[in-house]
Amino acid sequence: MTLKRRNSLPVLCCALGLAVQAPGFEPVAAKHGIVVSAEPQASDVGLEILEAGGNAVDAAVAVGFALAVTHPYAGNIGGGGFMLVRMATGEAGEAIVVDYREEAPAAASRIMYLDAKGDLAPEASVVGARAVGVPGTVAGLALVEEKYGKLGLARALAPAIRLAEQGFPVSYALSQSLQGGQALLSRFDGSRRIFLRNGKLYEPGEIFKQPELAHTLRLIAQGGPDAFYRGAVAKAIAATMEKYGGLITLGDLEQYQAKVRAPLEGRFRGFTVLTVPPPSSGGVALIEMLNVLEPLDLGSPNSYQSIHVMAETMRRAYADRAAYLGDADFVSVPVAGLTSPKYAAKLREEILNSKPEAPVVAGGPAAWSEGAQTTHFSVVDADGNAVANTYTLNGAYGSGVTVEGAGFLLNDEMDDFASKPGAPNMFGLVQGEANAIQPRKRPLSSMTPTIVLGNNRDSGFGIRDSGNQSPNPEPRIPNPGLRLVLGSPGGGTIINTVLQVVLNVLVFKMDVREAVTAPRFHHQWMPDELLVEDWGFSADTLERLKEAGYKVNARGGIGECQAIAIDPETRWRFGAADPRGDGKAVGY
């Protein structure tokens, strides 16, 4: 498809030094720092912190807490996620992953969601207190702030406390989203009262105040993560669990810890790709797919050739996901083998020598009810420090349960386990033994926060209309190499969304806004179907794919990528919020 471009100039730093999401098609350009999130007020919070002297970590922590207030659909303190941090220190820089994924409570068991006949009990792993994993967000954000932040947890929490206490105007998107969440939220007292105002739904423009959440955030600002995991908030969570028949105890909360892990590192056409290890499957699958695709001619974007080769690669990586991936602290995961060039060569041979496979019928259309329930934000600061963070409540508004008296929603992340190995979860993903439920284990995720490094300028970093030149080149600053910071929500589609945006920039030379906007497709092995965005592909291409044997199904948006690209010559930052959502890129 041809992407239409305006001939206007990009939005650059204006008189006030601010740069915000362009109404048109170009990425936002900023000389110093840039924040891209799924919710405009949270992006503004990130900018506020950067301009107050905070670094990318301070800004990211502040955005994480702000989204818990302004984007209750997925932003959270009652869920979990993964943060990839790359500090521009020293010659090589330093990168870590903070794994603050939720954890199964001690009383969880392999068969907890099965009925007497051994079938999955409807809703059991998705709705209500038994679906909740021990939340990790507060531990994760506090850990990273302590390790790398400059301003401290209390300062990073201040904007979120302000937004919760003073309230903020409800956007059209939030009012629609709350309306969409009615069926779930109305089932639980606190949720019905806070998010649905007992049936008097919020209209756009009305002010949404959350005094109970403000109080909780204040307790965390004063007492640190202990306030959440051992103090008053822990007691409120345990009481809510008792009321609704959940399993999480004070002991589960007290022992929870965010874990620092080494990022997975892959190579692709001269670039280094940093991403997340298990218990997310995202990094392994992303590197496996990039390894397969590296030497191949991908043709032009979204042509039959590129879709076929990429879909066959996706199919194999997702089959491996189902067979081998789980929490590597509990099961043996062959990460090195799956991400090795030798294995990629074997898969490539298989793909090149096979005809497009006739679909194996897997029981009709998938249960694709999910939208973009998870949420991602990306931050780069003036020193070149970068954060890619993806976190979630799992389903929209998580389990639907709000912690009584504490004002925040709890996740339904237990559904990301294989409740019955071999049966699909809410994303239609079939998962295996490696991801079976065990006490204290973390469920397999698809979250794929990713950072790309490299000096190769032959890719789409700047603004294409201006010949890929960003304005006012500056002398190089030390520690070159940061190129792309990105991630996406979208359940099982996350990994393929990140793959496509990376390829759009590195291979197809799109600028970052084009790269996040371009139509996407998705194959996840089972069900055996090729999902395509319903607006983005030519009838001819779809026909050819069908003739080749693909079962093609169309749907609305796939993923919602928030990305930042850095021009290797000039160091200008270019941000793009995915137009599939309501996010905003803002920089200075």
Nearest of 574, 588, 587 to residue 27 by alpha carbon: 574
Q: Which is nearer to ligand GLY, 133 or 460 (CB)?
A: 133
Q: Which is nearer to ligand GLY, 305 or 438 (CB)?
A: 438
- How far, rounded to the nearest angstrom, does the alpha carbon of residue 253 sit from its chain's CA centroid? 24
φ/ψ of 272, rounded to 5, equals -105, 135
Q: Is-catalytic flag, 313?
A: no
Q: Which is nearer to ligand GLY, 58 or 413 (CB)?
A: 413
Are 560 and 583 in contact by the 8 Å Cβ rule? The answer is yes
Q: Is 425 in the site for ligand GLY (CB under 6 A)?
A: no
User: Phi/psi class of residue 199: alpha, beta or left (left: φ > 0; alpha: ψ in -120 to 50)?
Assistant: left
Q: Which is nearer to ligand GLY, 224 or 395 (CB)?
A: 395
Q: Least Å distance between CB 397 and ligand GLY?
A: 13
DSSP secondary structure, 283-325, as one string:
HHHHHHHHHHHTTS---STTSHHHHHHHHHHHHHHHHHHHHH-
Q: Which is nearer to ligand GLY, 60 or 426 (CB)?
A: 426
Q: Least Å distance between CB 488 and ligand GLY?
A: 10
Q: Is 276 in the site for ligand GLY (CB under 6 A)?
A: no
* Binding-residue total with ligand GLY (CB under 6 A): 9
Residue 262, token pair as written in the block: 């080494």
Please give the residues from 487 up to 506 whose contact with ligand GLY meets the rule CB under 6 A.
Answer: 491, 494
Among 240, 374, 493, 541, binds ligand GLY (CB under 6 A): 374
Q: Is 394 in the site for ligand GLY (CB under 6 A)?
A: yes
Among 275, 378, 392, 504, binds ligand GLY (CB under 6 A): 392
Among 145, 312, 416, 533, binds ligand GLY (CB under 6 A): 416
Q: Which is nearer to ligand GLY, 387 or 494 (CB)?
A: 494
Q: Is 447 in the site for ligand GLY (CB under 6 A)?
A: yes
Q: Least Å distance between CB 491 and ligand GLY?
A: 5
Long-range pairs of 88-96 with CB within 8 A, sequence gap ≥ 24? 88/383, 88/384, 88/385, 88/386, 88/478, 88/479, 88/482, 89/479, 90/479, 91/479, 93/453, 93/479, 93/481, 93/482, 95/263, 95/274, 95/451, 96/147, 96/260, 96/261, 96/262, 96/263
Q: Which is nearer to ligand GLY, 41 or 411 (CB)?
A: 411
**Active-site residue identified among 240, 275, 313, 374:** 374
Q: What sign does the CA torsion over 38, 39, 42, 46 have? A: positive
Q: Residue 359, Cβ neighbours under 10 Å: how many? A: 15
Q: Least Å distance between CB 447 and ligand GLY?
A: 5
**Which residue's Cβ lies closest to ligand GLY?**
445
Among 445, 459, 504, 562, binds ligand GLY (CB under 6 A): 445
Q: Which is nearer to ligand GLY, 490 or 583 (CB)?
A: 490
**Strand, helix or coil for residue 262:** coil
- How far, rounded to the nearest angstrom, does the alpha carbon of residue 588 sit from its chain's CA centroid? 24
Are 524 and 318 in contact by the 8 Å Cβ rule? The answer is yes
DSSP 135: P
**Strand, helix or coil for residue 380:** strand
Q: Is 370 in the site for ligand GLY (CB under 6 A)?
A: no
Long-range pairs of 328-335 with CB within 8 A, sequence gap ≥ 24? 328/277, 328/278, 328/279, 329/279, 329/441, 329/442, 330/438, 330/441, 331/433, 331/434, 333/278, 333/284, 333/434, 335/264, 335/277, 335/278, 335/284
Q: Least Å distance between CB 317 and ligand GLY?
A: 15
Q: Least Å distance between CB 568 and ligand GLY?
A: 31
Q: Is 446 in the site for ligand GLY (CB under 6 A)?
A: yes
Q: Which is nearer to ligand GLY, 60 or 494 (CB)?
A: 494
Nearest of 306, 290, 308 to residue 298 by alpha carbon: 306
Q: Least Å distance between CB 374 and ligand GLY?
A: 5
- Would you report the helix, strand and coil content of the chain in percent, each value rounded to 5? 35, 15, 50
Which residues are near ligand GLY by CB under 6 A?
374, 392, 394, 416, 445-447, 491, 494
Which residues belong to the active site?
374
